[in-house]
A and B are shown apart, each in its own frame.
Chain A
């Protein structure tokens, strides 16, 4: 009897904690979504209503209609995609080749290279802002989306290369060696044999790279000035600089920035988690 009671008490406590922490995790996001659907008079009303009484997409519509680029979410989304997709492709090529080298090479410098990558991963973006700003100002790429594609590689490549190295380590080298015995070149055997086996790792890296480019704020802030070249995070941050803060617009823009991430997260959760723990998994 006592044991059964104990078992149930434990279950109840666990559920209590699970519900409490889940509520803490999801409530702020639900609140953002709820506010994004409220018309202005309801957003600033006190007491606030939990759910929008007259749900409307006005806030979203306003975001797409702002003229001149500043605040226009459609242009920002386009800019973000223009940065994120090439950044993702460059990162994939580099990390596949680099990770493959680190996994298969017998060079005696390999240990040093791994140490170098580990250290380079931990360099914070804020430290890079000044030299990169001066540099890109010098070559005239400031306020240019191409600069962002290049700069993002500084964060993406070390993490993804280390991640792909671990992934290639788990793929037996006998497979590509037998392809090479059959007369395949090494690069061709990598493309034909090893890479298809590494597809889950590549998906993780692609998600990681895309999301990073989608949400990066600091480096974009120092490189981009023109309102028409803002990426999505810059557009969101730009709301705060306005004289009167349009909270309905901010909440709608926040939901806008959140949607692709939530979709990817819900459908590709396994790869998503692997990608986000990339680099942190192994020293």
Chain B
């Protein structure tokens, strides 16, 4: 064989064996569990063995007021979190995109919430928003003379607090993603707009936002998914309470599965969650495809 032939033979294609371990992990630890969960959602445990019960679990689920309640709570929590976290992240990105002294330092500080572990965030804020001893109420009391706010013990306030905490954690992600997009906008566009006499607002709407569309849709999708599936923050901050006011779908699944050990019902709820996630993902992919063409 000449060297050229050898080269061609060798570069024909790479062996699929390289991908084998990765695909094995994804099949066995993600795809197969979801399939198994789907099967489990049609089964119930009777005397130690799983028997087929048809749609019973789904019927139980759809008749369970707590399930509908948790779905409603999850939607409120998600909508609240993405509106707050997204606008927060957008403002941060616009600020950090400006030129000022100490930009790198401030960017680092602004990213800290995102780097902090969820467990630390949840417990830290649980202490900060402690009704009697927390610093939040103390600051409100001493500077603004506001009566103690029941941050975590009132149903409405607990939801608001959870949304704020979740957004505090997620906002820097939006910032870093949108900042990347902002920095790749050619300066020429703004100069051309200046010549045409555009004001700041119309420059923002017609140049800045359209240029960041890709980043914005990614940020929104990730924030929707994180909020919709968020467990740790709520579980450690409010434990789903008070009076189930912050009992989101993941906590519902956890409680059904691991305190009641009703795996059939919990699986049915998980299947519903996967379907909702697929729905968001489907629209995201369609949006990306639509823009690409």
Chain A residues with a Cβ under 8 A of chain B: 11, 14-15, 17-18, 21-22, 24-26, 28-29, 31-32, 35, 43-44, 46-48, 93-95, 97-98, 100-102, 104-107, 113, 116-117, 119-120, 122-135, 150-151, 153-154, 157-158, 161, 177, 180-181, 186, 211, 214-215, 217-218, 222, 233, 236-237, 239-240, 247, 250-251, 254, 257-258, 261-262, 265-266, 269, 272-273, 276-277, 280-281, 283
How many angstroms between the C-alpha atoms of A153 and B10 in the bound complex?
32
Residues of the A chain whose Cβ atoms lie less than 8 Å from the Cβ of B273: 124, 126-127
With the chains together, A258 CA to B274 CA distance in Å? 32
Chain B residues with CB under 8 A of A47: 138, 142
Q: Give Cα distance in the complex from A88 to B97, angstroms.
A: 34
Once A126-B270, A154-B29, A186-B14 are accepted as A-B contacts, the answer to whether A240 and B123 lie under 8 Å apart by CB is yes
Docked CA distance A22–B125 (Å): 17
- Cα–Cα, bound, A135→B138 (Å): 49
Contact A135 B33 (CB under 8 A): yes
Whether A31 touches B109, Cβ cut-off 8 Å, given contacts A17-B95, A94-B22, A276-B114, is: no
Given A26-B109, A101-B16, A126-B254, A48 contacting B22 (CB threshold 8 A): no
B34 proximity list for chain A (CB < 8 A): 123, 127-128, 131
The contact of A98 among B10, B18, B254, by CB within 8 Å, is B18
Query: Is B189 located at the chain interface by the 8 A CB criterion?
Result: no
Contact B31 A120 (CB under 8 A): yes
Given known pairs A18-B95, A97-B22, the reply for A254 and B120 (CB within 8 Å) is yes
Q: Which 10 A-B pairs have the closest CB atoms?
A: A98-B22, A124-B229, A215-B117, A131-B33, A154-B29, A101-B18, A101-B19, A126-B250, A233-B119, A131-B36
Spot the interface stretch: B75-83, B127-135, B155-163, B204-212: B127-135
Query: Number of B residues contacting the other chain (C-beta, 8 Å)?
Result: 89
B285 is an interface residue with CB less than 8 A from chain A: yes
Question: Contact: B14 with A154, CB < 8 Å?
Answer: no
Which B residues are CB-close (under 8 A) to A26?
109, 112
Determine the residue in chain B with the shortest Cβ distance to A106.
B13
**Is B14 within 8 A of A101, CB to CB?**
yes
Within 8 A of A (CB), among B8-52: 10-11, 13-16, 18-19, 21-23, 25-26, 29-34, 36-37, 40
Is the Cβ of B37 less than 8 Å from the Cβ of A127?
A: yes
- In the complex, what residues of A have CB within 8 A of residue B110's CB? 21-22, 25
Instruction: Check B117–A257 contact: CB distance below 8 A.
Output: yes
Seed contacts A14-B95, A135-B33, A181-B10; 19 additional CB < 8 Å A-B pairs: A22-B110, A105-B16, A106-B13, A123-B30, A123-B274, A126-B254, A132-B33, A133-B258, A135-B36, A150-B29, A157-B22, A218-B254, A236-B119, A251-B124, A257-B120, A258-B117, A277-B173, A277-B177, A283-B288
Query: Given contacts A29-B112, A124-B225, A280-B177, is CB(A132)–CB(B106) below 8 Å?
Result: no
Q: Compute how far the CA of A123 lies from the CA of B116 in the bound complex, rounded to whole angstroms.
A: 22
A122, A151, A180: most-surrounded residue (chain B CB, <10 A): A122
Residue numbers in A under 8 Å from B31 (CB-CB): 120
Residues of chain B in range 239-275 having any CB-CB distance to chain A below 8 Å:
239, 250, 253-254, 257-258, 263, 266-267, 270, 273-274
Tell me whether B61 is interfacial, beta carbon within 8 Å. Answer: no
B21–A177 contact, CB under 8 A?
Answer: no
Asked if B150 is at the interface of the complex by the 8 Å CB criterion, the answer is: no
Q: A47-B138, A130-B270 are in contact. Are A98 and B124 (CB under 8 A)?
A: no
